[in-house]
Structures are given as structure tokens and as C-alpha cells.
Amino acid sequence: MKRFLATLPSLLATFVFVLSAQGADESPAVKAHFVDRNDPAVKDVLRYGINAINRVGVSLVREVNTAMAQGGPEGAVDVCHLKGLPLVNGLVAGMPRITALKRTSFKVRNPANRPDEVDQLALDQVKYLLDHGDEVPPLLVQRVEPAAGNPEWRVYKPVAVMPQCLACHGDPAGQPAGLRAKLTELYPEDQAVGYNTGDWRGLIRVTVADE
Ligand code: HEC
């Protein structure tokens, strides 16, 4: 986890990815690039993004801790994690400018959490840094410009596996039979097992609307 706390490597700011969902000779369906989070131009985006991510991150851990204390892992599966946060007028209730919250990973439990093509860039970026032994920044800021529709910002926070996550994301052989059965039933395509404490689990993402 320590390496997640480092400052943004300058190389991140220089990365520009252009995606194409169509043929190479057509204009791309969506363009996305990372922005230096210290750039004054993203000060507000970052402020709204951090507030929302902190709330999501704290709730995620608190929810796991409370549910585990009350019902053990089997009971806790039903409340994990922040499922169905309500959108009011296209915004997450109580979170100004936040139009979406997501948790994603290379290995998802719920297929609904699979990365889209732009999330994929953020996953690839963190993986690249980890593979090269480089510091992973606490947050990544991404500007997304779809060919049609409004541009938006995304703020991502890499999350690590903590000891209390292992009950449901650790070695499946160590899971009680009831929990295993429940996870298999609810998530037949579950890939989110086999983690150890300190592993990189994935990203919490918030989408911040353009002003
Ligand atoms: C009680 C079991 C349980 C515990 C403990 C638990 N999770 Fe999960 N986790 C789940 C379930 C169930 C899902 C699928 C949620 C859904 O349907 O969106 C999930 C999904 C996720 C996802 C979204 C990507 C995916 O795989 O679908 C992330 C990220 C995640 N968990 C991280 C964590 C972290 C970090 C911890 C520890 C703080 C943790 N989990 C602890 C059950 C658990």
C-alpha cells in the first residue's frame, strides 16, 4: 500500500491515449488522456472527485467491517458494496457534479463492474507502474471526450486489499461452504478471488461533470 501514497510521476502527465472503437481510418469514438492532478486547471474537478472518492472509500470499508461483525461474510455479501446508489437528476445524491460512481478491476466479481475502454486505460496505467516498480499515485485524473455527448472528467483511486477483504476476495479454498455457495450462485463468473493483503485490487472511480 505504501507505494500507492507516492506523488504523481511526471510520466503520467505526458501519457496521451487515443482510443478508437472504429477502424483506424475513422475518427475515434472517444478520446481520453490523463491530466497532471497538480495542474491548477483541474483543482475543482479534483476537489469534487476527492470528496466523493473519500466518501465511497470510507463507506466501502465501514460497510464491510459492520456487515462482517453482524452477519459474517455470508450475510455481508448482500450489502457489498454500495450497490445501487441512487442518481437524482443525473447526479449522485449529495455529491455535487458527480454523475457516476464505479468500482472496477482487471478481475471483477460482478460483470457489471467490468472496465469500459476508458477505465481500461487507467487500469493499464496502474499496472504499468506496478510492473516497472514505479510509485503509483494516490489519484489519477482523466479527461474524456466522446465523439458525441459531453466531455467529462474521471478521478480514479487505486485500492489495495486489506486483511478484512480476504474473507471474500482471498483463497476460495479457505472460504466457508455457505459463503462459497452464495458467491458462486450470485456471481457465476467471479474472478475476484485469490488476492493477498497488500495486493492491488482495482480502482474506485468517480465521474465529474464538466462545468
Ligand atoms: C462479505 C464479502 C466481501 C468482503 C469482505 C469484501 N468484498 Fe469486495 N466484493 C464483494 C461482492 C459481493 C462484490 C460484487 C459487488 C457487486 O455486485 O457489485 C465485490 C466487489 C468488489 C469490487 C468491485 C469489482 C468487482 O470485483 O466486481 C471491489 C473493487 C472490491 N469488491 C473491493 C473490496 C475491498 C477493497 C474489500 C476490503 C475492504 C472488499 N472488497 C471486501 C464482497 C466482499
CB-hemisphere CA count at 13 Å for 93? 6
Query: Whose Cα sits closest to atom 37 in ligand 1?
Result: 165
Q: Which of 48-62, 65-79, 195-209 has the highest mean pLDDT?
A: 195-209
Average of pLDDT values for 148-172? 94
- Going by C-alpha positions, the residue among 29, 39, 32, 61 that lies closest to residue 123 is 32
76-120 pLDDT, tens per residue?
A: 887 766 555 666 777 777 888 999 989 999 999 999 999 999 999
Which of the listed residues 109, 190, 193, 205 should we mutate to test ligand 1's pocket, taking the one with most ligand atoms within 8 A of CB?
Answer: 109
Long-range contacts of 126-131 (CB under 8 A, 24+ apart): 126/158, 126/200, 126/203, 129/9, 130/3, 130/200
The answer to whether the CB of 114 falls within 8 A of the CB of 104 is: yes
List residues near ligand 1 (CB under 6 A). Answer: 60-61, 64, 68, 73, 76-77, 80-81, 83, 103-105, 108-110, 113, 159, 161-162, 164-165, 167-169, 192, 201-202
Report pLDDT for 20. 42
Distance 65 CA to ligand 1 centre (A): 12
Distance 43 CA to ligand 1 centre (A): 30
Amino acid identity of residue 160, one-letter, is A
